[in-house]
Structure 1
Amino acid sequence: MQEQPQFLDVSGTRIAVRHQAGGAPGLVWLGGFMSDMLGSKAETLAALASQSGLSYTRHDYSGHGESGGAFRDGTISRWLAQSIAVFERYTEGPQILVGSSMGAWIALRMVQEINRGAADDRIAGLILLAPAPDFTSDLHAPKLTEDQISSLATHGYFEAPSGYSDEPYVFTRELFEDGDKNRVLTGPIDTHCPVHILQGMEDPDVPYQHAEKLAALLSKDDVTLTFIKDGDHRLSRPEDLSLLERTVTGMVETIRQG
């Protein structure tokens, strides 16, 4: 039976959190747009953390999963603030952020807000799966149809079918406007920690060239980019999950060796 979540109030919204105590470096899961913390990748990390004696923290953004709030009220800034609040409340010591799709964007913004190149930086590593930083401006905005642009202007949002859920995606004008304020692919990105990117080359949502662009902007840091030739956006097949486990284990060992 799945353990019940704890709840953290962030600006009046109940954010659902699951935290496993353990050693360092801890793992922090950051899910994607319209995903929750009980997916196969998040659960794989829960099992790995238990087996390895590592702390593990995950949460649902507002409007996602077990958290409160309406999905269409969410923005990158709000979800970022919630993620930082959970990080500060539930974690201690060095942490590895594991971000999937939009979660990779959140992770990159977290490291900009938290890591300053000091010896005691809390974020010790980043593992980014099918990273989708700046997806509003770089991936979605160029493909908007006239009807979608009209709906954004008239109604403030539009809906689009999802290939991963029966519920449609909801894109709001505020999400696009706020996304512009959180862009990270505008120049060099200093994370002050190692980064490992896992990217499927058959990803229909985030082209592998997007991961290449991100890796090029991380030139000052220790960056590894692994392409999965037949991998899709989910990266949730057994072989993908095994690769995730190996990647996390490898980064844990590297960090512990100093």
Structure 2
Amino acid sequence: MTEAPAPHLPPRFEIAPHSGERLAYLAVDGRGEGPTLVWLGGFRSDMRGTKAEVLSALCEREGLGFLRFDYSGHGESEGRFEDGTISGWTEDAAAVIAARTKGSLVLVGSSMGAWIALRLAQRLPSRVAALLLLAPAPDFTSRLVEPKLTAEDRAALQRDGFIAEPSPYSDQPTLYTRKLIEDGARAAVMTGPIALDVPVHVIQGMEDPDVPYGHALELVSLLPSAGVTLTLVKDGDHRLSRPEDLARMERAALALARESRPPRL
């Protein structure tokens, strides 16, 4: 059951050791032995989006811990967006997780957040119990952005260090920096089989204009065959924020959380 978003809560802040920047976060304390769900948002998104609010309400009802935060340069966190990279935002996530969670984790990654979730799962194998990936966009810089660059775009990246494109989601243009693209190549995860030993559920819209569903199919082909579920939503878009999409996300998140709870003695 999907509930209306909760009232606006003031953020808390955690200092990122690697940068010294204040990272805004919100947390729900869990009750009992269940895992903590961690929301990993997308490129230029923030922790107060519809999907994160719905998951927060779900965790409140179910007694599960929930952590959401803004990467540097996003939302209410410090830093400049144009200075950000996949590696830096992964460090942000690792810092907030280390400071604000204990025990097992279910990582819920949306779009770019799925890339960061995969990197964290490889980095924290003893803690990550499951992954829920929504419209996943790992390696989007090299696989989705770079192939579309024109000669003029490439010249602008070398000359100015960035390009700006109109955004369908904001009145502000989307910036892609040379730093982001170069770091993305170094941080790539879809270069071969992805070694994970946890359940993974991928939900992908087939009408997604930003991340073609073929990208999700390729990702699934690189994941271990056991414990991987792919849900294709025939009329789903990139946001996956319609009521039926949110309910589907809730069911998947709760199933993964229940599956990853330690057995009762």
Name the TM tier (shorter chain). over 0.9
Shift of 1:19: 1.1
For residue 70 of structure 2, the aligned residue among 41, 60, 81 is 60
Residue in structure 1 matched with residue 106 of structure 2 by the alignment: 96
The answer on whether the counterparts of 1:29 and 1:98 sit within 8 Å (CA) in structure 2 is yes
Residue in structure 1 matched with residue 4 of structure 2 by the alignment: none
- Please report the TM-score for the alignment, with normalisation by the length of structure 1: 0.96
Would you say 1:238 and 2:243 are equivalent positions? yes
Paired with 1:83 and 1:131, the residues of 2 have a C-alpha distance of 17
Residue in structure 2 matched with residue 12 of structure 1 by the alignment: 20
Q: Counterpart amino acid of 2:29?
A: A
Paired with 2:78 and 2:257, the residues of 1 have a C-alpha distance of 33
The answer on whether the counterparts of 1:60 and 1:66 sit within 8 Å (CA) in structure 2 is yes
Post-superposition CA distance 1:150-208 (Å, at most 9, x none): 11010000101111111111100000000001100011111221000000000000000
Matches within 5 A, 1:1-258: 1-10=7-16, 11-23=19-31, 24-115=34-125, 121-256=126-261
Q: Which is worse superposed, 5-14 or 170-179?
A: 5-14
What secondary structure does 2:261 align onto?
A: helix
Paired with 2:224 and 2:130, the residues of 1 have a C-alpha distance of 15
Instruction: Say how many residue pairs are matched.
Output: 253
Post-superposition CA distance 1:2-45 (Å, at most 9, x none): 12111111121111011111142110000000000000000000
Post-superposition CA distance 1:71-100 (Å, at most 9, x none): 000000100000000111111111100000
Q: Which is worse superposed, 134-143 or 145-154?
A: 145-154
What secondary structure does 2:44 align onto?
A: coil
Paired with 2:169 and 2:106, the residues of 1 have a C-alpha distance of 27
Shift of 1:221: 4.2
What secondary structure does 1:124 align onto?
A: strand
Q: Superposition RMSD on alpha carbons, in Å?
A: 1.0
The answer on whether the counterparts of 2:135 and 2:204 sit within 8 Å (CA) in structure 1 is yes
Post-superposition CA distance 1:43-74 (Å, at most 9, x none): 00010000000000010001100000000000
What secondary structure does 1:28 align onto?
A: strand
Unaligned runs of 5+ in 1: 116-120
Q: Counterpart amino acid of 1:245?
A: E
Q: Counterpart amino acid of 1:163?
A: P
The answer on whether the counterparts of 2:196 and 2:224 sit within 8 Å (CA) in structure 1 is no
